[in-house]
Structure 1
């Protein structure tokens, strides 16, 4: 893990104008800078960067944070990945809490990839294969495509460059059997596989010399877990965020060809079906997921498994199956771009795809088969939220030609959203000024809390509670911090005068409420009235009084 001291030292070097300004164009606006928000579409700029507070906030979508948060959101990186990226940009050496350091980058993989790339430029057979598949030279460079030679040559290169065989085995480019070392990628076109931050963690290889396995991937290592990685996600993540869609294909060439023609939100699984371990990566930015698989039996089976996983996990999107032996790469090469556009725009929704596949896999002319189809379909529906179960009962019944009352999915637990109507919140500038004072002059917090309690604020209790508890990274507080129309109280005397005026109004209102109470004992009412009158008198003399609930 990265040490906290190291993170704090890096933060001290960061300037939010430099960081954000390296991604988007900022324009001066008073003490702050403004720009159209990079996290949602908008016509008039509502994204504000504050150099004095070293934070950003969007008044449109609520996004906000510091330099690290911006890089995390913009690049779709985890917290450690964003820190490491910024450290690299600022030439800052991070320290880790252990010596093992859980190394994220392998110098051996980097050097080996350079070697493979150099060999490709001299290998006519490999270059001819890539050209025949429609791969541009620019794509070869962008995706770092190379060529792995024979095992002896690779082992020799590793040793000549002062790497040990243990290192090579540890990162998955070599193996050891019967006392001999061997390279895992032999006479193959290589595709470097990168983590979300762009570091090489493994390779995929495509044979061009007739090896039994057409494609191979690196084995599981401390860097490479194919069940958590998606090929080319590091190139696609920005486009995924902007388009709010991710296209998942089956192969490297599909991805590369799709990127060549503008589908830059395409990625691929790594020789394995989609797994639950992929889901955290897919949730980033909450895009719609399009599974674009071959229409053969293997592709359909993988798509069905993925559709079940994604639908029961709450994802939106659908499935595209390619027919006639075609795949996305073939369609791009044939110039069928508009057809691809239409397919990706209107995929078959996951639930419809699963329900149709289940029912079509049975001969429902046979009553027993129809019953089995019903049982399997109902079993699937029960994995979905109750509202969706109810919605799809009719579809199952219609496909089977039966009454919907027979499709029993236990909808008595139907749950609807309990969200209240969203209304534009009212603003109270005095309360907002008080909150901004707490944020900018925390040393005045104790005096404020001696006089008032959050419960007596009418409009901004939540923001006040967040401020006094020190939760300065809350979006609501960032919005207050960068709003130049909200003025803080810069001195205690100024604050005291404002508090006195506010409390006089507050206690006068409380006085009227108690006078109107008919269900309160006379003695209690008289005591409270005397107490409130005493407070108002002191306030009118210019004295702050302690708050009592």
Structure 2
């Protein structure tokens, strides 16, 4: 883990205007800067950056935070990835709690990738293969395609660049077996694999010398987990967040050719089926997911597994299965780009695809097989929401052979719904006095004790939640950021100004409470008399210029 001291030191070096301004064109607006919000479409700018407070806030969509939060949201990174990206941009060395990471990260992957790319130009067989597959030179450069030579050449190059072999072993480009080191990529076209923030974490290699394993990937390392990564995600993420769609294929060439044809939201799994660990990455931006898989047995099985996983996870999207031995790369190569676009638009929805695949596994002419198929289908539908179960039980029943069966036979046991779930209503009214009080807490914490003696969040009519959050120091809350950055809200100047405002506010509050007493039929005469004396006493003190304790 990155140490907290290191994080704080990095934060101190960051300039919010510099960080945000490297992605968005900012314009000066008083003490702040403004721009159209990069997180939602808008015509007039409501996105504000405050250099004095080191935060940004959008008054349109509510997005807000500091430099790290902006980098996370814009680049679609998690917290450690954003820290590492910013540290790299600002030439800052992070410290880690484990000794393994307490040194600058090895540059062996970047150097090796550059070397592989340079070697490609001198390898006619590799260039011939790339040309045959229809890959443009611009795509070779964009994706960093290279060529790995024999094992000794790779090891000698790593040593010549003054990297230790142990570094290369840790990064997965060199292996160790039976007392000797060997390069993991030998006489292969190489495809660098990047993390979500763009760092090279591994390689994929395609043989051109007839090796039994057509494709190989880097082994699992501290940096490379193929079950969490998607090939070319760092290239695709901006497009997929704009188009709200991502295309997942099975191979490097599919991705490269799709990008070449304009489908720049294409990615690929890394020699493995889609896993549960991929889902957090796929949830970013909530895109529609199109699984574009080969029509062979392995491709259909992978598509089925992925569809079960995605539909149970509530993802929207569908499946495209390619027939006639073709794949996306082949279709781009033969110029069928419009046909591809149509296929992606009309992808078969995940749930329908799974049910049809289940149905295809049984001989529905056999009543016993039909019953087993129905139970298999019901088992799958139970992984979905109750609404989807009801919607698709008719679909399942109608396809169970011949005239189908009655949907009433497709039964589910559903958990009872909770009728006591509270409805949360957001009060959009703005009370400038209450907001001013909250901003005073944010900017003058030395005055908080004076407030706490006489005021409780429950006394505020419109912004009690925000007041409570401010007292708790929850400065990362979007509502508090909005108050902090709003130049129309002015904090109280000093202790005397605060006292005068509190006296005026509390006098009105206790006068309201006094008026309520006579209308409360649940109170006895003695209780009413007690509260009347209590509130009149408080009001009398307030009018004499004395603050009164809330709990008295």
> Quick check: TM above 0.5?
yes
Partner of 1:413, secondary structure, is coil
Please state whether the residue corresponding to 2:216 is helix, strand or coil. Answer: strand
2:243 match = 243
Residue 64 of structure 1 pairs with residue 43 of structure 2: no
Question: For 1:100, what is the secondary structure of its paired residue?
Answer: helix
After TM superposition, the structure 1 stretch with the greater mean CA deviation from structure 2, 482-491 or 412-421, is 412-421
Tell whether the 8 Å contact from 2:145 to 2:192 is kept in structure 1 after alignment. yes
Aligned residue in 2 for 1:399: 399
Which is worse superposed, 29-38 or 304-313?
A: 29-38
Q: Which residue is 2:297 aligned to?
A: 297
Of residues 519, 522, 540 in structure 1, which corresponds to 2:522?
519
Out of 429, 434, 447, the residue aligned to residue 431 of structure 1 is: 434
Q: What is the aligned partner in structure 1 of residue 317 from structure 2? A: 317
Cα shift at 1:421: 8.1
Structure 2 distance, partners of 1:471, 1:218, is 43
Query: How many Å separate the matches in 2 of 1:90 and 1:104?
Result: 14
In 2, are the aligned partners of 1:387 and 1:416 still within 8 Å (CA)? no
Residue 134 of structure 2 corresponds to residue 134 of structure 1: yes
Shift of 1:94: 2.0
Distance in 2 (CA, whole Å) between partners of 1:104 and 1:413 is 54
The question of whether the paired residues in 2 share the 8 Å contact of 1:104 and 1:223 is answered with: no
Q: Residues 102, 397 of structure 1: CA spacing in aligned structure 2 closer, same or farther, 3 A cutoff?
A: farther
1:501 lines up with 2:508 in the alignment: no
Change (3 A) 1:419 1:74: farther
The 5 Å alignment of 1:110-509 reads 110-400=110-400, 401-411=404-414, 413=416, 420=423, 425-509=428-512
In the TM superposition, residue 104 of structure 1 has moved relative to its aligned partner by 8.3
Question: Per-residue CA shift, 1:121-151, capped at 9, x if unaligned?
Answer: 1112211211221212122112111001122
Give the SS at the match of 1:190.
strand
State the Cα distance separating 1:67 from its structure 2 match.
0.5
CA distance in 2, matches of 1:231, 1:509: 64
Q: Secondary structure at the match of 1:411?
A: coil
Taking the aligned partners of 1:262 and 1:492, their CA distance within structure 2 comes to 62
CA deviation profile, 1:94-140 (whole Å, cap 9, x unmatched): 22233321778432222221221111011122112112212121221
Measured at CA, do residues 47 and 345 of structure 1 come closer, stay the same or move farther in structure 2, by a change above 3 Å?
farther
Partner of 1:534: 537
- When structure 1 is superposed on structure 2, of 423-432 and 133-142 the one drifting more is 423-432
SS of the residue aligned with 2:189?
A: strand
| Paired position in structure 1 for 2:101 | 101
How far off its partner does 1:287 sit? 2.1
Distance 1:303 1:103, change over 3 A: farther
Cα deviation for residue 422 of structure 1 reads 6.1
8 Å contact kept, 2:427–2:462 = no
Q: Give the Cα separation in 2 of the matches to 1:389 and 1:104.
A: 52
Alignment of 1:2-17 (within 5 A): 2-17=2-17
Q: Secondary structure at the match of 1:277?
A: helix
Partner of 1:485, secondary structure, is: coil
Q: Counterpart of 1:29?
A: 29
| Range with greater deviation from structure 2 (15-24 or 108-117) | 108-117
Confirm or deny: 8 A CA contact 2:95 2:102 kept in the other structure: no
- Tell me by how many angstroms 1:424 deviates: 6.2
Paired residue total? 549
Distance (whole Å) between structure 1 residues aligned to residue 309 and residue 103 of structure 2: 32
When structure 1 is superposed on structure 2, of 410-419 and 506-515 the one drifting more is 410-419
Q: Against the structure 1 CA distance between its residues 65 and 267, is the aligned structure 2 distance closer, same or farther, given a 3 Å change threshold?
A: same
Contact 2:355–2:396 (8 Å) recurs in 1 = yes
Answer yes or no: is the 8 Å Cα contact 1:194–1:232 preserved in 2.
yes
Q: What is the rounded CA distance, in whole Å, between the counterparts of 2:378 and 2:366 in structure 1?
A: 18
Q: CA deviation at 1:193?
A: 0.9
CA 1:259 to 1:148, structure 2 compared with 1: closer, same or farther past 3 Å?
same
Provide TM-score, normalisation by structure 1. 0.96
Q: Distance in 2 between matches of 1:338 and 1:519?
A: 75
1:336–1:420 distance in 2 versus 1, CA, 3 Å: farther
Superposition deviation, residue 228 in structure 1: 1.3
Greater mean alpha carbon deviation, residues 15-24 or residues 276-285: 276-285
Is the CA contact (8 Å cut-off) linking 2:93 and 2:104 kept in structure 1? no
Query: Hey, what's the Cα distance between the residues in 2 that align with 1:477 and 1:73?
Result: 19
Aligned to 1:516, the other structure's residue is in SS state coil
Deviation at 1:159, TM superposition (A): 3.2
TM-score by length of 2: 0.95
TM-superposed deviation, 1:372: 1.2
- What is the deviation of 1:47? 1.0
Shift of 1:329: 1.4
Tell me the distance in 2 between the aligned counterparts of 1:325 and 1:417: 55
How far has the Cα of 1:272 moved from its partner?
0.6
Cα distance in 2 for residues equivalent to 1:24 and 1:210? 49
1:418 Cα deviation (Å)? 5.3
- How far residue 169 of structure 1 moved from its aligned partner, in angstroms, is 3.0
Q: Which runs of 5+ in 1 are unaligned?
A: none
SS in 1 for 2:529: helix
Go from structure 1 to structure 2 and tell me whether the alpha carbon gap of 1:456 and 1:57 turns closer, same or farther (over 3 Å shift).
same
CA distance in 1, matches of 2:269, 2:118: 27
Question: Structure 2: how far apart are the matches of 1:67 and 1:263?
Answer: 31
Which SS does the other structure have where 2:374 is aligned? helix
